[in-house]
Each structure stands twice: as C-alpha cells, then as structure tokens.
Structure 1
C-alpha cells in the first residue's frame, strides 16, 4: 500500500484519522492524516494532535510495574494484599476477593477474576448523564465490587478489567511514594524520548509544546469535555499524539525503556490461564498474515501496534469511537504491506 492509496482510504472515512509509522525497520518515520481535529474552528487533525488514549495507557502502566520489578521493588507473583491501600484492600475482601491469593501478574494479564466497573452499563450511563462529575479511585473500586462478586478464581481465566489496572496504579504509587503520573513519566523515560505531546490529565499540566486536544466523539455525542477522572487511575489517564504513541511503542520493543531484554520477554510471556494467548502483561498479541504482532486499543478510538518481524510501530487515532474498527483494519493493512 503506497501513501496515495492510504490517503484515499482515510479520505473516505466518516471520522478524522491520523497515523504515525516508525521503528528500526524503517529508513525514516512517516505520518498521514485526514479530517478535522476541531471542525468548529477548522483545525485539521495531524499526527501531532493529542487525544485521550484511554486503555493504551495500560501498556505503559504495565511497563512501569515491570521497571519496578527490574529494580527489585515488586514481586510479580506475590499477593496484592500487602501492596494495596488498606481501604481498597478492605473493599475487595469484603466482597469475597482473596487478595492474599491474587498476584500482581494476574492483575497485569487480567486473570485475577476482577469485575470491570467501566464495562457495566450503569457506570457509563452515569458518566454520560453527569459529564462533569469527579470520580475518585476508591469510588470506582467500590462500584466494581458492588456491581459483581468475583467472576472467577484468580489465575483461572481471562477477564478484562479496568478495575484491575486501577489497583495497579495504586500499587505503583504505594511503592514509589509519588503520584502515578510522575512515576510512569520517569520510569518510561517520556522526557528522554522527546514525547512533547504527552501528559497525564489532571495530574500534569498540558506541555507548552502540545497542540490543543482533538475533539473526540461517541457516535453523535461529543465526549471531549467529559471529566478525565472517569478513566484516570491506571486503566486510562494519558493524553498523547499519534507520533508520541508510536514512538513509545517502538522504544518499548527496541530496548530503550527496559534495562534488560529479559524484562520484555517477561512482558510478552503467556500465562497458564484460560484464553491467555491473546493478552500478555498489559499488551495484546495477535497474528497479521501469520506474523505475530503486539498491540493495545483505547476506548475512544486509538490503537498502537508493533511488528517485531519488520521493526515497525504504528499508532493511529480516529476521532469517533465508532470508527475504531476501521482504524484497526487500516493499521493492519499497513503492517501487512510491510511484511511483504
């Protein structure tokens, strides 16, 4: 697929889209975009436009835990009970969760049996009804345990859970003694990697180098100004440009984040639980034209991929959640073209 063909595909999409492609397998990075970041002001979307990346944040929260593991500060297979803020641990145990048997690794690979508060329609209905409401971490964990008892025994099956990553965010803060945003920024080397359009909402100011965020939609609903607190504490929280997201994905796989190559192997290791193959530690695994690739999606319409076979990282944004499937298809076509 050449650039003109890709531009034609993007121009036919109902939502604005941007892609950034980089990695050690390319002679030089490149980008392409179509549509408006903000139609009301006539501001076009570009690969440097920041957007909320939602669950793409999970990959970098997981990588931060693995950086702490490298430093001997956390046991991936140890229980979460002594690591959690006591009030969060109490909420879980009162609802039947055996936090003395749930491990950090099981939170990372979503095999802890935790309910997902964010996937419950009651939660999202409230978010849309009260868009300016501030949500606390404790409140979201409380909702998770009120909505459902444990879904399975820890370590037995894959159950995707934003709540689990909220717990990981709490663990990071307890180990580091500082805010989640500050720890992730330092451990992931945001500043050294030159990520000029990346910040953690509420916890950090928008960098002076970053353009205004793009408007993001859920169908016809403008979701841009929904309080960032609804997805802030580790399951989401980051705002990034496509350039920064692809750059960080490439850095993660190309030895510019972890101290040892063994840490990346740990991140990509497959668990023994049911349906373990599709999701590792904070990152999904799939095959494109029979070549293994690693990726993560974000709720509002973001996606990031890395192909070790070709040394290619691709990150993309669609400004409307309903166009995320089309975005993923386009990214996979780009990667498939690189493999031939």
Structure 2
C-alpha cells in the first residue's frame, strides 16, 4: 500500500533552467506531452526499430531488453523526454554522453554479415524518424487528430532541430508527410523480420515489461490495460510490417480498440496529476523532466535555443564529430582485436539517465 501512496503523490517540482529547444508554443510540446506519446507512441517506435538488422544486432548482443527491460525502457524514455522538454545544458550533455555509450555498440551482424555501429548516421536517422513518426501517428489515431498542414510542417522542422543532437544530419530529415512516407518506402527493402527481430518485437509489445511488480489486487486491471496497449500499438503498424514480423493483422480488432483507447487518453489528458501518476509508474526517472511542462511551471529563464547554439555555448562537439578517438578505439577492440568494448560513458550516464541495473 505504501508503494501505491507513493504513485498517487505529486512530485516536488523544480523549475528548469530554460525551455530547452522547443517551448510552450511549439508543436513538439503539444504532441509529445499528450498521454499517447510516452505509451503507445513510444512503444510503437521501439518495436518497429527492431526490423533494422543493424539495430537488432546491437540490441540482441547486449540482451538488455530481456534482462533489464524496465531499466532500459526508463533510460531511453528519459532521454527522449529530455530532448523534448529538458533544459539545454542538461540535454546537450546527455546527447554527448550518449555518443560515448553508443560507441560500445559495434560489431558484425550475424544475420547479414555486415558491420553495425550505433553511431552510424543512417542508424541514428532510422531511430530518430521512427520515434517522431510513431509519436505523431499515436497522437492522430488516439488523440486530438491530425495536425493542420502548417502545424505538421512545423512539427517536421522541429524534428530536424532535434536531429542536431544525433549523429545524423538535420538536412536528411524529411519536412513533409509525403517525404517521411518516401523515407520508410526506401527503408522497406532493408528491413528484415529475422528470428531475433521477431523475438524482440513480441517481447517489447508486452507493455507489462515496462511496469514494476504489481500488488496482487491490481494485477487483473493492469493485465487488461497492457493488453489494450499492445493491441493499440499493433493497430498503428501497417500490415506489411506486421506480416514481416509475424504479428497479428486482424482488421476488426484494429477498429474495435480505437474508441476505448481514445476515450481513456482523452480522460487522462484532462488531468496533469493523473498523467504524472501514470508516468511515474511507466518511467520514474522521466517525471522530473516532464513535470514542469505538464504542470505549467515556467523555467528560471523562459527562453529557447537550438542544439547547435547550446553545443557551442557549453563546449560540446557536434555529435557526428564527437569522441572520434574513442569510437575508433572501440571499433578496433571489437572488429580487429576481437575483444569486448570498454564501458566508457555508462558510469557517466547514470546521474543523467538513471541507473543501468
């Protein structure tokens, strides 16, 4: 019962240093702060990502999504929340540390025989666009609906701004819905429903992997909730993608799941307190990042900046040029010497992204 009381209490919220890279007038804040985003939207993103052979090779090597799924989900969600809502200083540092962490994820894909590298710009572009696209689709399907053409143009412009925190090039970000669709069409021949991809996708579709152990009186309720989330996520995925991954494609269930989920998300969206309670359950380390936005608490300095401006101000290299020596050392250890990569960046990331265990 003490754990339940903790979930129901509001956190102590400290004002952020600044608005970061977007702010209250942005489309990003409107879409990403809606409760569909950090549930179905984010789940869709991490599930679909596994179809990329390079990404699933790195994921399968660590086995972290199986051995510590809640921690992995929590840290990833916190990072994305920092990009959207965090202050510029903390988020720029987090992005720099992430390059170090990703330097570990190099190796030979056992399925294709090709080299994979998590810092590769093409891999980063896939992750970045899959996340932003999934968040928008979930918002449209279960939330307020489709953005206007002007709003969507702003959304993709803001997506390109966020890409300045990744190793991909912002100019590679499509700026229209048609351009995003063309990107996924181009990626389709490269996506593989390998055995390791199917296993990971089925695992990540179980929304309960992101939840803490439930008190027994609540387990039936959360079993129903996670079943709806799984079906709701499936309903956002195109049939060819589900067929590739060996996932259910039933049209009737796709239709039936929309009204109850839309109603539930609408109800949650009326209460910032309820959103924070649910966020604390799913991703406790994300609460302090999202709470000022959800509660409307102004930062110490109500200004926005761009990642490039912040990188220059705080002394960080552009991500695709950051830590090149470390990245080469890791490649040499793994690809040339046959050794395990070093853990540089992991310890440094814990105060920023949360514990790894």
TM-score for the superposition, normalised by structure 1: 0.27
More strand by share: 1
Higher RCO, 1 or 2 (CA under 8 Å, sep at least 6)? Answer: 2
TM-score (norm 2): 0.26
